[in-house]
Amino acid sequence: MNKKDVILITGASSGMGRETAIRLAKQSYIVYAAARRIDKLNELKEFGCIPIQLDITNEQDIEHAVSTIEKAHGGIDVLFNNAGVATLGSLEETAIEDAKKLFEVNLFGLAHLTQLVIPSMRKKGAGKIINTSSIAGKVHGPLSSWYVASKHALEGLSSSLRVELKPFGIDVVIIRPGVVSTGLIGTYVDPMINQPENGSYAEMTKVIADWSKSRDNNPKYSSPPSVIADTVLKIIKSKNPKTAYEAGKTSSQMIWSRKLLSDKTLDKMMLRFLKS
C-alpha cells in the first residue's frame, strides 16, 4: 500500500488507538482518528490526524463517519477496529444490561462499521481490516466472563470474515494485546472493587484488582502502547500479513499456555493464583 492510504482508527482518543494514530500520521498516511468525544481528539491535529466523531454504538455516527471519509477519499483502505470496553466482575453480580452494552461496543458496533467499509474495499480489490482482540480472545479467566465472551466472539467473527473476504483481496487480521499500559485500567477495575465487601467474590476481586493495578504503567510487567502501533504499521506494510499477532508482555506466553495446557490444568493454575 502506498503512503497516501486512508486509515480509520476507532478508540483513538487514548492508549493504543491514540499512539497508533500518531505513528501512522507521521508515516504520511491519511489518518482519521475516531472517538465518542471529539474534544479528546483535538491534540491529534498537530500530528496530522483528522478527528472524526464516532460513537461505535450509534448507527448514525457510524454511517456519517464512513460517508464523510468516502466522499473525501473514495473509501477506506485500512480499518483499525480498536474501540473496546471491559466489564469485570462475577457473572452472578453483573447486570445483563451492562453485558449487552459491552457487546454493543466490542462486537455489534464493530461489525456494523465493518459492514459499511467492506463495499469500497471489495470494489478496489484491496484493503485491510485489523481487529483488536485480546489474550482473553483465547484464554479465559475468573471475573471476566462477559469480556472473555465478547473477545472470543470477535475472534470467531474475524476468522469467518477472513475467509469470506480473501477472494476480494481484503485481509482480516487480529491483534491480541497482552499487558499494555493505557492508563485506563481503573475504569474497569474500580467498579469491580465497589462490589459488596462481604460478597461471595470479594476475596477473589481483591486479588485480581491488586494484580491488575500493580501492572498498569509498570514497565517491568507491561508494555507501552507503542508496541501496538508498531504491530499495526507492520501489518499495513505487509503484503501477506499473518492472521493474528500477539503484542505486549505476557501475550505470547498466555496464548502458548492455552495451546499446551488442558482446561483443567489451566483452571488449577488460576485457582492457585487466587489463593496466593
Q: Give the predicted TM-score (pTM) of the model.
A: 0.93
* Residue 2 pLDDT level (bands cut at 50, 70, 90): very low
- Going along the chain from its start, the domains and CATH numbers come out as 6-275 (3.40.50.720)
120-148 per-position pLDDT tens digit: 999 999 999 999 999 999 999 999 999 99
| Mean pLDDT along residues 20-43 | 95
The answer to whether 21 touches 49, Cβ cutoff 8 Å, is yes
Give the integer Cα–Cα distance in Å for 20 and 31. Answer: 10
pLDDT per residue over 63-122, tens digit each?
A: 999 999 999 999 999 999 999 998 888 999 899 999 999 999 999 999 999 999 999 999
φ, ψ for residue 176 (rounded to 5)? Answer: -115, 90
- How many residues comprise the chain? 276
Torsion of CA 90, 92, 95, 97, to 10 degrees: 100
Catalytic residue among 147, 188, 221, 245: 147
Joined grid coordinates for residue 173: 487480521
| Residues near 186 by beta carbon (within 8 Å), at least 6 away in sequence | 213, 216
* Residue 192 backbone zone (phi > 0: left; psi -120 to 50: alpha; other: beta): alpha
For 78, 100, 155, the CA distances from 137, given in Å and listed in that order, are 22, 18, 6
Residue 201: active-site member: no
CB 204 within 8 A of CB 274: yes
- Rg, the chain, Cα only: 19
* Residue 201 DSSP one-character state: T
